[in-house]
Structure 1
Amino acid sequence: MEAVESNGRHGGTDRRKSKKHRRNRWACVFLLVNNFFQFAAYYGVSTNLVNYLKYRLNEDSKTAANSVTNWEGTGSIAPLIAGYLADAFLGRYWTIVLFMVISAVGYGVLTASASVVKLQSAVLYAGLYLVALAGVLEPIMAPFGADQFDESDEEERDRQSSFFNWFYFSIDVGSLLGGTVLVWVQSNVGPGLGYGIPALFSVVSVLVFLAGSATYRRDQPPGSPLTRIAQVVVAAVRKFDVETPSDLSLLHECDAVDGMSVIQGSRRLAHTGQFRLLDKAAVETASDKAGASPWRLCTVTQVEELKCLLRLLPVWASGIIYAAAYTQVTTTFILQGDTMDPRIGRFKIPAAALSVFHTVSVILWVAIYDRAIVPLARRVTGHERGFTQLARMGVGLVILAVAMVAAGALEVARKRLIARHGVYAAADGPSLPLSIFWQVPQYVVMGASEVFTLIGQMEFFYDQAPDAMRSLCSALSSTSFALGDYASSALVVVVARVTARGGRPGWIPDDINRGHLDYFFWLLTVLCIGNLVAYLLIARWYTYKKTAR
């Protein structure tokens, strides 16, 4: 009888577990398909936007480039707003729905502006800035997808880690379609259809997301994270002269039940020894006994939320140099390729088209990492994810430096051919007898770096953020790329001015055949190595978040 009952219990547990796995699997399918359509639409617009503004709207090169930069900057800042709304008021599900609908309207406006000549200028920019809000969805969609897995289940945690890899995979497959096929349609068929297809894709992405609604696990917004952070700071300042008790169990945590804190949907966080001054906010004094204001007495979980954020900031800052070097894929790599032999038979390959190898590299490396590297690393390290998240990002930083070395080595070979053949006119003269396909290795290596660092960063910021701040922290991680773009632009300006003194052409002149792009790549290599050293110190100092039992 006992055996029957035991089998019944286990059978029921297995059925519930199987049902949960099926539901998670379907939720992920809907999210990944949605992601594919969403980013195919986005890159179908963004990839060729500068040429559209220049040749269709007759903007000069500088104005068109600045317009695209400002547009991309808006898309980089908007996730912070969306992340705050998701954590404080709407929850991730309704935030995603809201911004997807807004971006779909934007694509419709873009299509109208491209089809009707009279509407082109002002209406186009209105549509563009509505579409920019589509950029907020990645930092919200990734944690929403990760929410579908039960972190208390070891098998579910492994699936969650794998989800981040395939989430990024869907982005790159979408960007590959948008950046090639849709750009070809815009250039060869017309902008009306070229923007109409992204508009259709955006509508399909909304419908796919809504179709999966019954399968999703949804979070409840826990309230403003900024308010809770401000309360900790104010309470700690008020109690600056209060002694922290040696028995840390005396620190305030209001009636937690089953490991949950008083913050809606948030697990309690265990006390950590860093930033001890903030602990004063959780010290309960005699005057607090009657029921203190949250601006005077905070829970340990509130204090640890702020500590988590402070620990994330140095890791976030290390991403700025990474982004500055990564940006070379769309800048100096293309300048380098412009002077090389683009022919393959009768066809000429534009230098910018080689970025396809970077995208394909990411797609392939995601599969290799998830299916081969992780299982192997798991056997070697014994870690459930193969690598710790910090170790994974560190490997990517090393690979990034290798990519800069590869670009620098190719530039040295290119400069030697210039000297040998006397080719000093990059724009009008003949191309060098050096195939542009020699650039492929640096694109492939850069793709490997992206799989380790950027996907690792996405997972890290989700996992290490407090439960009630995951949208905001995931959005914060994406802003390092915006700052990296600005840092790269500033570095180019400074290097160009400093090295061009005394009538010299400098490292990055208009005619790069007369410059020293190789020196610039060596400078980036040094910065990458310096950033890696700083990152290793940060990783050693970092304390992983722990939930209270």
Structure 2
Amino acid sequence: MIALGTGGIKPCVSSFGADQFDDTDPAERAKKGSFFNWFYFCINIGAFISGTIIVISKPGGSPLTRVCQVVIAAFHKWHIDVPHDTSLLYEVDGQTSAIEGSRKLEHTDELRFLDRAATISSADLKSESFTDPWKLCTVTQVEELKILIRMFPIWATTIIFSAVYAQNSSMFIEQGMVLDKRIGSFNIPPASLSTFDVISVMVWVPLYDRILVPIARKFTGREKGFSELQRMGIGLVLSIFAMVSAALVELKRLEIAMSEGLIHEKTAVPMSILWQIPQYFLVGAAEVFTCIGQVEFFYDQAPDAMRSLCSAFALVTVSLGSYISSIILTVVSYFTTQGGDPGWIPDNLNEGHLDRFFWLIAGISFVNLIVYIGCSIRYKYKKASRLNFM
């Protein structure tokens, strides 16, 4: 029922909001693009709030509160040396942690300065402040923060993917507007080609699950075929190919516009809009690898009591990606229109170089991929204790 309700509300709200803008007015068109940015922003802020602020009422307290407790306790004990024997760090007895619904986490040697929060000082022994988490935290609580810090670079490097995905509803549509939209006697609305993104997801999900995973399992020995990080990396590669495909289509379009003498005419060129299908299809394939891999990664690697928080952070990348795309577009427009030049993305795309914008996004994505690979190689998976029910 929730899925049906969400499916009915979201498309109606976005369409209703967009219908308030006049497509014939350039200023209104610009504001409509801003509306979609804020619409996505609000959706993901709502998801973020549901996974952070609302969970304060959950048993075990807010994850953000526990993070603050570790930081404050470690800061208060900045002058205390962390014992070399990690068994001397504070942890509750038994198999379960002090955090309700969370398994104990094994101690790691990274970010040792945070271990001060779990170091039992002479003042703790005298005041018996073992029950005050603002003064003394458990090893599990400290490890929760360490996991969040380790996950941050992976999270940050997925934002650029969302910037690529944002082209589905922005520059891809602008490109489609100046392509031949006629298929026989029927005109294809440029925005409708995003359907091929959805079709691609529908094709790639069963293909990945039933064919790619069994094949990969034989080579990697992993039950899932690929690790979450490998899966996300493949998606980032596919997103680069999507931008390259869009750039090549635009190069060909501009070549036809020049040969037909349409450079200074604001009109569509005689090149079928169906040439955009590969770029939409590649974005859809990238979604299956990166987005699903991201959801799985943040669920599996998040501390047991912080899964809602981490899932909320994963959704925030969509909003940030949309805004980074807008910022890049604004910067490109500013610098490429200096000296009276029409710029890369003028009102008449036949006079511009939209291909260079796509190449720029591809280049940024490639650099991001290199950073992601480096972060993935250095990433250490969490180690949680196993509960014994026997």
| Counterpart selection for 1:382 from 211, 215, 221 | 221
**SS class of match (1:53):** coil
Paired residues for 1:372-411 under 5 Å: 372-411=211-250
Distance change (3 Å), C-alpha of 1:426 and 1:45: farther
Match of 1:40 in 2: 7
Q: Does structure 1 retain, via aligned residues, the 8 Å contact 2:251–2:355?
A: yes
The answer to whether the aligner puts 1:548 opposite 2:370 as a matched pair is: no
| Counterpart selection for 2:97 from 252, 261, 284 | 261
1 or 2 for the larger relative contact order (CA 8 Å, sep ≥6)?
A: 2
Q: TM-score under structure 2 normalisation?
A: 0.93
**Rounded Cα–Cα distance in structure 1 between residues aligned with 2:128 and 2:216:** 51
Q: Does structure 2 retain, via aligned residues, the 8 Å contact 1:86–1:471?
A: no
Match of 2:137 in 1: 298
**Rounded Cα–Cα distance in structure 1 between residues aligned with 2:265 and 2:105:** 59
Match of 2:46 in 1: 78
Match of 2:62 in 1: 224
**Rounded Cα–Cα distance in structure 1 between residues aligned with 2:37 and 2:230:** 33
**Percentage identity across aligned positions?**
45
What amino acid is the match of 1:225? P
The answer to whether the aligner puts 1:252 opposite 2:90 as a matched pair is: yes
Match of 1:15 in 2: none
Q: How many pairs does the alignment contain? A: 381
**Rounded Cα–Cα distance in structure 2 between residues aligned with 1:407 and 1:484:** 18
Match of 2:255 in 1: 416
Residue 52 of structure 1: how far off its partner (Å): 1.9
The answer to whether the aligner puts 1:53 opposite 2:20 as a matched pair is: yes
Q: Does structure 2 retain, via aligned residues, the 8 Å contact 1:87–1:470?
A: no
Moved more, 298-307 or 65-74: 65-74
Match of 1:239 in 2: 77
Q: TM-score under structure 1 normalisation?
A: 0.67
Q: Does structure 2 retain, via aligned residues, the 8 Å contact 1:392–1:453?
A: yes
Residue 462 of structure 1: how far off its partner (Å): 0.9
**Rounded Cα–Cα distance in structure 1 between residues aligned with 2:344 and 2:53:** 45
Match of 1:171 in 2: none
- The structure that is helix-richer by fraction is 1
Residue 345 of structure 1: how far off its partner (Å): 1.2
**Rounded Cα–Cα distance in structure 1 between residues aligned with 2:219 and 2:5:** 38
**1:282-314: CA deviations, max 9, x gaps?**
111222225213211110000001111111111
Paired residues for 1:485-496 under 5 Å: 485-496=322-333
**1:196-215: CA deviations, max 9, x gaps?**
xxxxxxxxxxxxxxxxxxxx
What amino acid is the match of 1:89? S
Match of 2:115 in 1: 279
Distance change (3 Å), C-alpha of 1:39 and 1:461: same
Moved more, 395-404 or 320-329: 320-329
Q: Does structure 1 retain, via aligned residues, the 8 Å contact 2:89–2:118?
A: yes
Distance change (3 Å), C-alpha of 1:442 and 1:68: closer
Residue 60 of structure 1: how far off its partner (Å): 3.7
**Rounded Cα–Cα distance in structure 2 between residues aligned with 1:425 and 1:246:** 73
**1:331-380: CA deviations, max 9, x gaps?**
11111111111111110001111000111111111111111111211122
What amino acid is the match of 1:53? Q
Residue 466 of structure 1: how far off its partner (Å): 0.7
| Counterpart selection for 2:361 from 520, 524, 528 | 524
**1:79-101: CA deviations, max 9, x gaps?**
221112453214xxxxxxxxxxx
**Rounded Cα–Cα distance in structure 2 between residues aligned with 1:41 and 1:378:** 39
What amino acid is the match of 1:271? H
Residue 546 of structure 1: how far off its partner (Å): 0.7
| Counterpart selection for 1:66 from 7, 17, 34 | 34
Q: Does structure 2 retain, via aligned residues, the 8 Å contact 1:242–1:280?
A: yes
Residue 437 of structure 1: how far off its partner (Å): 0.4
**SS class of match (2:49):** helix
**Rounded Cα–Cα distance in structure 2 between residues aligned with 1:426 and 1:453:** 40
| Counterpart selection for 1:89 from 50, 54, 57 | 57
What amino acid is the match of 1:486? Y
| Alignment gaps of 5+ in structure 2 | none
What amino acid is the match of 1:41? G
Q: Does structure 2 retain, via aligned residues, the 8 Å contact 1:87–1:222?
A: no
**Rounded Cα–Cα distance in structure 2 between residues aligned with 1:511 and 1:235:** 59
Match of 2:174 in 1: 335
**Rounded Cα–Cα distance in structure 2 between residues aligned with 1:395 and 1:470:** 24
Q: Does structure 2 retain, via aligned residues, the 8 Å contact 1:315–1:538?
A: yes
The answer to whether the aligner puts 1:363 opposite 2:165 as a matched pair is: no
What amino acid is the match of 1:78? G
Paired residues for 1:479-518 under 5 Å: 479-518=316-355
What amino acid is the match of 1:71? F
**Rounded Cα–Cα distance in structure 1 between residues aligned with 2:361 and 2:351:** 20
**1:387-442: CA deviations, max 9, x gaps?**
11111100101111111111111111111101100113664x3x322110011011
